[in-house]
Structure 1
Amino acid sequence: MHSPLTRRGFLATGSGLAAATVLPGLSGCSALTGADSDPDTLVVHSQLGTTAPGSPTYLAALDRFRKENPGLKVKNLINGDDLAQVYETSRLARKEPDVVMVNLYDKTLAWTDVGATVDVKGYLDDWGLRRRVLPQALAEWTDAKGRVRAFPYFATNWPIAFNRALLDRAGVDAIPTTGDELIAAARKLRAKGIAPVTVGGNDWTGQKLLAQIIQTFLTEDEARHAYTTGDFGSRGAREGIDYFVTLRDAGVFADKAQGLTSDTMTTQFNTQAAAIESAMSSALAKVPEKVARHTEVGGWPLTGGAVHDKPTILRTYTLIGFWISPNGTKKIDAVEKFLRFMYRPDTVSRFIKESGRDMALRSDTLSTDFPLVAAAQRLGGTVSQALLPDVYVPPAAAQPLITATSTSFTRGTSAAKVRAALETAYRSA
Structure 2
Amino acid sequence: MSRRRLLTAGSGLAAAVPLAGCGAALAGDGAGPDTLVVHTQLGTTAAGSATYLSAVADFHREHPGLTVRNLVNGDDLAQVYETSRLARKEADVVMVNLYDKTLAWTDVGATVDVAPYLDDWGLRGRILPQALREWTDPKGRLRAFPYFATNWPVAYNTRLLERAGVSAVPTTESELIVAARALRAKGSMPVTVGGEDWTGQKLLAQTIQTFLRADEAVHAYSTGDFGSRGAREGIEYFVHLRDAGVFADKAQGLTSDSMFTQYNTGRAAVESAMSSALAQVPAGIAKHTAVGGFPLAPGAVHARPTALRTYTLIAFWISPNGTRKTDAVEKFLRFMYRPDTVARFITEAGRDMAVRSDALATRFPLVAAAARLGDRVSDVVLPDVHVPPTANQPLITATSTAFTPGTSAARVRAALESAYRQS
Q: CA RMSD in A?
A: 1.1
Give 1:203's match in structure 2, choosing from 169, 173, 197.
Answer: 197
Partner of 1:425: 419
**Structure 1 residue 173, shift from structure 2 partner:** 1.1
- Are positions 1:98 and 2:87 aligned together? no
Separation of aligned partners in 2, 1:307 and 1:15: 50
Which AA in structure 1 matches 2:20? T
**Structure 1 residue 340, shift from structure 2 partner:** 0.4
Which AA in structure 2 matches 1:152? P
Q: Deviations over 1:276-329 (max 9, x none)?
A: 000001110000000000100000000111110000100110110000000000
CA gap 1:382/1:419 in 2 versus in 1, 3 angstroms: same
Partner of 2:80: 86
Give 1:190's match in structure 2, choosing from 179, 184, 209.
Answer: 184
**Structure 1 residue 141, shift from structure 2 partner:** 0.3
Separation of aligned partners in 1, 2:217 and 2:7: 34
Partner of 2:169: 175
**Structure 1 residue 126, shift from structure 2 partner:** 1.1
Partner of 1:48: 42
Counterpart secondary structure, 1:161: strand
Partner of 1:14: 14
Q: What pairs up with 1:156-305 in 2 under 5 angstroms?
A: 156-305=150-299
Separation of aligned partners in 2, 1:191 and 1:287: 25
Question: Aligned residues: percent identity?
Answer: 73
Paired residues of 2:128 and 2:355 also in contact (CA < 8 A): yes
Separation of aligned partners in 1, 2:340 and 2:274: 24
**Structure 1 residue 38, shift from structure 2 partner:** 1.1
Q: What pairs up with 1:101-120 in 2 under 5 angstroms?
A: 101-120=95-114
Separation of aligned partners in 2, 1:220 and 1:16: 41
**Structure 1 residue 17, shift from structure 2 partner:** 2.7
- Are positions 1:408 and 2:402 aligned together? yes
Separation of aligned partners in 2, 1:2 and 1:210: 30
Separation of aligned partners in 2, 1:116 and 1:376: 35
- Are positions 1:374 and 2:368 aligned together? yes
Q: 4+ runs of 1 displaced by more than 2 Å?
A: 1-8, 10-18, 33-37
Number of residue equivalences: 423
Q: Deviations over 1:195-228 (max 9, x none)?
A: 0000000000000000000000000000000000
TM-score by length of 2: 0.98
Paired residues of 1:109 and 1:391 also in contact (CA < 8 A): yes
**Structure 1 residue 2, shift from structure 2 partner:** 5.1
Counterpart secondary structure, 1:326: coil
Paired residues of 2:98 and 2:313 also in contact (CA < 8 A): yes
Stretches of structure 1 lacking an aligned partner (at least 5 in a row):
none
Counterpart secondary structure, 1:322: strand
Q: Deviations over 1:240-272 (max 9, x none)?
A: 000000000000000000000000000000000
Paired residues of 2:146 and 2:354 also in contact (CA < 8 A): yes
Counterpart secondary structure, 1:17: coil
Which AA in structure 2 matches 1:342? M
Separation of aligned partners in 2, 1:254 and 1:244: 14
Counterpart secondary structure, 2:269: strand
**Structure 1 residue 12, shift from structure 2 partner:** 3.5
Separation of aligned partners in 2, 1:144 and 1:219: 21
- Are positions 1:145 and 2:144 aligned together? no
Q: What pairs up with 1:72-83 in 2 under 5 angstroms?
A: 72-83=66-77
Which AA in structure 1 matches 2:33? P
Stretches of structure 2 lacking an aligned partner (at least 5 in a row):
none
**Structure 1 residue 10, shift from structure 2 partner:** 4.1
Separation of aligned partners in 2, 1:311 and 1:168: 20
Paired residues of 2:41 and 2:95 also in contact (CA < 8 A): yes
TM-score by length of 1: 0.97
Counterpart secondary structure, 1:331: helix
Which AA in structure 2 matches 1:137? A
Paired residues of 1:35 and 1:43 also in contact (CA < 8 A): no
